């Protein structure tokens, strides 16, 4: 049986029991993280081995909450039973996870997948009080959501975000959350690895790995250091059984801070810098062909015309070794190093060009948003009726997880239930290339081409790395 990546998933029923500790005062005042660095030392005596994590738990646990959401779904009835008058009916799905209060007025961070598509989001505090929550910002790309509850002026216990610390492999950590809905639970372990990439499908996979037990329901809960500060959000596990096998991953506090700051500033989306260059991993074969002493860095495979990388002089086959002194060794780590900076920052890249290594300075900028999105839902009687489409730009592609380097076209972002587009097999993420041989460059052109086609359409799309065509008659 192969290994599977498991998001710490939803559970149907939640036992909303919470632990009863005395609330401790958090060092988080607002959204500024703790700058304290713990002293690292090994146990010096048998007495040291009997020391307890209780002081850390007393400080952190009161700010850890249970998050659950409900959504109504349509349950399809087998066509056989439809002949007897039975129709699809509504059902309720529930999702269970955890979260952490990071500001005393009720600001909470959790995972996107905990509240995704939720229509009724509830938060249960450690003292068992329950509050409805609203979403301030939901960042699917980073798998982070920021919620807000109304505490009626009460100052709630908070958890500091330590995004300036220096977690190291071997550091002791605690994972706090609500696994399986049994109530607030604390597990301990160590930081097993840092900067883990290529372990998830997300754009910003630069995770902290831990062997602290993480199970379904822990999603969104904090990974806490020995100062009682959050260094990450527990997000998913790798497991054959679906339960913890000691291989868990947490989103680093740097990414949490970026999303939180955007929410506090009133933004509904996080605008991240974009290098304007496509990276490629330097394999041993590539390193050998380029005469490199060892595989390292990220090779520039393509440069976007007019982007920051081109203006800074980067060229295909250049090797980016570091970003502001941080080593990068695959495209995901490069995207993370760039994407966690702020638009307008000055970045220093160490670049190998041929046999020479030099420093390139560039200004971090947002991906270009031209052409304008011009979002519209296709109407009329044609095979794409019910599809929501936008004009593809690097900014739109970055936001939606599409390829920013894809040639300009029209991107399908949603498919309506019951629409012809769904029945014809179109999917969100498809890029419409042409209709009846006419290249499609905008949503307006797409609607016009579909309307003018009559009763027969040949539609060419790009899906992933493949370009496919289909003939349709209605």
DSSP string, 247-262: -EEEEEHHHHHHHHHH
Q: Are residues 354 and 420 in the same domain?
A: no
Cβ atoms of 297 and 182 closer than 8 Å: no
The active-site residue, picked from 138, 143, 225, 318, is 143
pLDDT < 50 positions in the chain: 1-35, 73, 77, 80-81, 88, 90-92
Cβ atoms of 334 and 328 closer than 8 Å: yes
Q: Looking at the domain assignment, is residue 1 inside a domain?
A: yes
Beta bridge partners of 366: 273
Q: Are residues 169 and 249 in the same domain?
A: yes
Residue 26, pLDDT score: 37
- Other Cβ atoms closer than 10 A to 304: 18
pTM attached to this predicted model: 0.78
Residue 457 domain boundaries? 376-473
- Separation between Cα atoms, residue 230 and residue 99, nearest integer Å: 11
Q: Looking at the domain assignment, is residue 166 inside a domain?
A: yes
DSSP annotation of 59 reads: H
Phi-psi region of 425 (alpha: psi -120 to 50; beta: other; left: phi over 0): left
Q: Is 143 a catalytic residue?
A: yes
Spell 35-57 as b/e; 16+ CB within 10 A means b.
eeebeeeeeeeeeeeeeeeeebb
Q: Are residues 413 and 282 in the same domain?
A: no
Q: Are residues 347 and 462 in the same domain?
A: no
Among 13, 56, 68, 36, smallest CA distance to 186 is for 56
Q: Domain tally for the chain?
A: 3
Q: Looking at the domain assignment, is residue 341 inside a domain?
A: yes
Query: How many alpha carbons fall within 13 Å on the CB side of residue 266?
Result: 0
Residue 246, pLDDT score: 83
Q: Are residues 13 and 127 in the same domain?
A: yes
Residue 204, pLDDT score: 66
Q: Looking at the domain assignment, is residue 35 inside a domain?
A: no
Q: Is 26 a catalytic residue?
A: no
Q: Is 113 a catalytic residue?
A: yes
Q: Which residue has the tokens 């994590």?
A: 53
Question: In sequence order, which residues have a C-beta less than 8 Å from that of residue 433 and are 6 or more positions away?
Answer: 409, 439, 440, 460, 461, 462, 467
Q: Are residues 171 and 293 in the same domain?
A: no
What string of DSSP letters covers 319-335? EEEEETTEE--SHHHHH
- Separation between Cα atoms, residue 291 and residue 284, nearest integer Å: 10
The active-site residue, picked from 219, 244, 393, 434, is 219
Q: Looking at the domain assignment, is residue 205 inside a domain?
A: yes
- Other Cβ atoms closer than 10 A to 348: 13
The CATH number that applies at residue 432 is 2.30.42.10
- At 119-147, the pLDDT tens digits run 899 999 999 999 999 999 999 889 999 99
The active-site residue, picked from 27, 34, 98, 113, is 113
The CATH number that applies at residue 97 is 2.40.10.120
Give 3-state DSSP helix, strand, coil % of the chain, rounded to 5: 15, 35, 50
Q: Looking at the domain assignment, is residue 190 inside a domain?
A: yes
- Other Cβ atoms closer than 10 A to 255: 24
Burial of 314: CB neighbours in 10 Å, binned 0-12, 13-18, 19+ = buried
Cβ atoms of 35 and 161 closer than 8 Å: no
> Cα–chain-centroid distance for residue 96?
18
Domain stops at, among 229, 248, 270 = 270
Residue 79, pLDDT score: 54
C-alpha dihedral, 310 to 315 to 321 to 322, nearest 10°? -10
Q: Are residues 341 and 464 in the same domain?
A: no
């Amino acid at each position: 049986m192969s290994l599977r990546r498991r998001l710490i998933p939803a559970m149907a029923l939640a036992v909303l029991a919470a632990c009863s500790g005395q609330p401790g005062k958090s060092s988080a005042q607002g959204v500024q993280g703790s700058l304290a660095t713990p002293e690292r030392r090994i146990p010096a005596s048998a007495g040291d081995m009997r020391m307890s994590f209780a002081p850390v738990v007393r400080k952190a646990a009161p700010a850890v909450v249970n998050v659950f959401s409900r959504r109504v779904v349509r349950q399809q009835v087998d066509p056989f039973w439809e002949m007897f008058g039975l129709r699809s009916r509504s059902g309720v799905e529930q999702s269970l996870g955890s979260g952490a209060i990071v500001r005393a007025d009720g600001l909470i961070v959790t995972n996107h997948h905990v509240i995704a598509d939720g229509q009724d989001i509830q938060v249960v505090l450690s003292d068992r009080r329950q509050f409805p929550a609203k979403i301030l910002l939901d960042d699917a790309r980073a798998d982070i959501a920021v919620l807000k509850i109304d505490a009626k002026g009460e100052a709630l216990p908070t958890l500091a975000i330590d995004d300036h610390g220096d977690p190291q492999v071997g550091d002791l950590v605690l994972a706090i959350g609500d696994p399986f809905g049994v109530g607030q639970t604390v597990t301990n372990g160590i930081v097993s690895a840092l900067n883990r990439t290529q372990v998830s499908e997300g754009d910003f996979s630069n995770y902290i790995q831990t062997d602290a037990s993480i199970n379904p329901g822990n999603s969104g809960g904090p990974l806490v250091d020995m100062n009682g500060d959050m260094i990450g959000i527990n997000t998913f596990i790798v497991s054959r059984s679906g339960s913890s096998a000691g291989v868990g991953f947490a989103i680093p506090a740097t990414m949490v801070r970026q999303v939180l700051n955007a929410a506090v500033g009133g933004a509904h989306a996080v605008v991240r810098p974009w290098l304007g260059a496509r990276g490629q991993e330097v394999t041993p074969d590539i390193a050998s062909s380029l005469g490199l002493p060892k595989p390292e860095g990220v090779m520039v495979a393509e440069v976007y015309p007019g982007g920051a990388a081109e203006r800074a002089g980067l060229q295909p086959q250049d090797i980016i070794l570091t970003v502001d002194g941080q080593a990068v060794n695959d495209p995901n780590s490069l995207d993370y190093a760039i994407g966690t900076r702020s638009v307008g920052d000055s970045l220093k890249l160490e670049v190998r060009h041929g046999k020479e290594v030099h420093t390139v300075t560039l200004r971090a900028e947002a991906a270009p948003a031209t052409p304008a999105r011009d979002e519209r839902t296709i109407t009329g009687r044609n095979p794409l009726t019910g599809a929501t489409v936008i004009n593809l730009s690097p900014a739109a592609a970055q936001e939606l997880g599409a390829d920013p380097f894809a040639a300009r076209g029209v991107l399908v972002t949603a498919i309506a239930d019951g629409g012809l587009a769904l029945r014809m097999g179109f999917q969100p993420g498809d890029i419409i290339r042409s209709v009846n041989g006419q290249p499609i460059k905008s949503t307006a052109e797409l609607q016009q081409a579909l309307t003018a086609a009559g009763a027969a359409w040949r539609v060419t799309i790009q899906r992933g790395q493949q370009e496919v065509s289909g003939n349709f008659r209605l």
